[in-house]
Amino acid sequence: MKGTVMFQNGIDVFSYLPSRHCHIGAGLAVAAVLMTASLPAQAQTFVRYLCDDGTPIVAAFYPQDKSARIQVDGKALKLPQRLSADGGRYAKGGVSFWIKGQQATLKRPKVKPTICKVQ
């Protein structure tokens, strides 16, 4: 029997587990979970915004991969960080979220840009 067990951080616990050695594999899996639990969590920051047009936004910022994940218009979007002379700008596929201090500008295709404020 061949199988692979992957955990969230990408650790390959075992790639071959004969059925008669299931108790060894289970022990390895438990050990891997315990080791993973002791690793520090990847840093992220969650911020809630309310835009002038009434659009609520929840944004999560992940510095390790230089991106923001925003929840807007019922969709979850991953926006890579872009170069910006002032503030933090994240954009992809016609959606732009540009943060300056306690507010941000949200631009979407076919929708007028709106100012959003931290809640």
pTM of the prediction?
Answer: 0.62
Spans of all domains in the chain:
1-39, 45-118
CA distances to 5, 29, 31, 38, 117 from 35, rounded to whole Å, are 15, 10, 6, 5, 40
- Which pLDDT does position 111 carry in this prediction? 94
Comparing 106 with 36, the larger pLDDT belongs to 106
Give tens-digit pLDDT for 60-80.
Answer: 998 888 999 999 999 999 999
Give tens-digit pLDDT for 1-29.
Answer: 444 333 333 333 333 334 444 444 444 44
CA 71, CA 77: separation in Å to the nearest integer? 6
Q: What is the signed CA dihedral for 69, 71, 72, 75, rounded to 10 degrees?
A: 100
Top-tier CATH class for 45-118: mainly beta
